[in-house]
């Protein structure tokens, strides 16, 4: 895994997300997931960057306008994909690890969110997670970075993705399934799900209306002001999706068949 990750490090720190959840095998037979841990970048960061010396921060208005108008540090208007999955699992939204005091950390048994905007991936991550007991993993591919508003080129009559960028990141998603299959074989009792963001985004882009979107090219926030119809926008800022988008992805990965492979999360919870 390290090799393919290393090659795409520069890209993957921008907007990929990696997340994993850990399930106590004996509990999962009763269909309960005891804890949910999140590792990733800005797409799932709940505020870890607020108090560190990082450029990527979102604890300012208009982030969080639909999160009780509270700029928690989430890079979106409302909840992230990870927040929504936690809710579907019946768990609390995992708090930002750096937002919880050292003494309180011992009281949290249902998982933390370690995601940090603009993060990278360390070689030790895989060992940082499986050896600690995680068995069920949801791993995302890299989306079509060439289609985020900051990459799109606009002409009076059209909006075009930067296909050079898309082709640069595509091999990651293409190679991920085989790599995860290999890991699943090597790591006993592990289960991996892939979030095929690359191809699912393509489906949304071809027929946005089917998913409730009217705009899949522009940032909802313009000139520092959020748009009123946030539910119709795919992107909240120049890089990150709206809560509406996160909901489409969370619902599809949890219950559907078009985004997550080889199973959706609901099925994985029941598998052991």
Contact footprint for ligand NAG (CB under 6 A): 2, 6, 24, 26-27, 61, 69, 123, 133
CA dist 154 and 160 (Å) reads 6
Question: Which secondary structure element, helix H or strand E, spans residue 245, and what is its range?
Answer: helix 243-255
Residue 30 or residue 209: which is nearer to ligand NAG going by CB?
A: 30
Residue 23 or residue 264: which is nearer to ligand NAG going by CB?
A: 23
Shortest Cβ distance from residue 46 to ligand NAG (Å)?
A: 18
Shortest Cβ distance from residue 123 to ligand NAG (Å)?
A: 4
Beta bridge partners of 119: none
- The 8 Å CB, 24+ separation contacts for 207-211 are 208/234, 211/248
Residue 2 or residue 258: which is nearer to ligand NAG going by CB?
A: 2
Residues 6+ positions from 106 with CB-CB distance below 8 Å = none
Residue 172 or residue 213: which is nearer to ligand NAG going by CB?
A: 172
Beta bridge partners of 21: 136
Shortest Cβ distance from residue 221 to ligand NAG (Å)?
A: 13
Task: Return the residue matching tokens 């209306």.
Answer: 209
Whether the CA torsion 113, 150, 143, 164 is positive or negative: it is negative
Shortest Cβ distance from residue 105 to ligand NAG (Å)?
A: 16
Residue 109 or residue 164: which is nearer to ligand NAG going by CB?
A: 109
Peptide bond before residue 262 is cis, with ω within 30 degrees of 0:
yes
Shortest Cβ distance from residue 216 to ligand NAG (Å)?
A: 26
């Amino acid at each position: 895994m390290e090799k393919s990750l290393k090659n795409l490090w520069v890209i993957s720190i921008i907007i990929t997300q990696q997340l994993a959840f850990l399930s106590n095998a004996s509990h999962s037979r009763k269909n309960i997931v005891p804890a949910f841990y999140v590792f990733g970048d800005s797409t799932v960061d709940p505020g870890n960057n607020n108090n560190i010396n990082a450029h990527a921060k979102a604890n300012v208005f208009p982030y969080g306008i639909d999160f009780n108008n509270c700029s928690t540090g989430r890079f979106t208007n409302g909840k992230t994909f990870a927040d929504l999955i936690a809710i579907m699992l019946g768990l609390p939204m995992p708090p930002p690890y750096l937002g919880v005091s050292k003494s309180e950390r011992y009281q949290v048994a249902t998982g933390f969110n370690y995601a940090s905007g603009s993060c990278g991936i360390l070689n030790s991550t895989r060992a940082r997670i499986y050896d600690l007991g995680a068995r069920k993993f949801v791993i995302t591919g890299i989306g079509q970075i060439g289609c985020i508003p900051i990459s799109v080129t606009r002409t009076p009559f059209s909006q075009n993705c930067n296909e050079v960028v898309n082709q640069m990141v595509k091999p990651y998603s293409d190679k991920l399934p085989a790599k995860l299959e290999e890991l699943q074989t090597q790591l006993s009792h592990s289960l991996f799900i892939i979030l095929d963001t690359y191809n699912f985004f393509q489906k949304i882009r071809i027929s946005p209306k089917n998913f409730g979107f009217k705009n899949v090219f522009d940032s909802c926030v313009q000139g520092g002001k959020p748009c009123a119809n946030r539910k119709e926008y795919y992107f909240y800022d120049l890089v990150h999706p709206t809560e509406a988008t996160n909901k489409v992805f969370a619902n599809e990965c949890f219950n559907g068949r078009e985004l997550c492979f080889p199973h959706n999360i609901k099925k994985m919870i029941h598998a052991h």
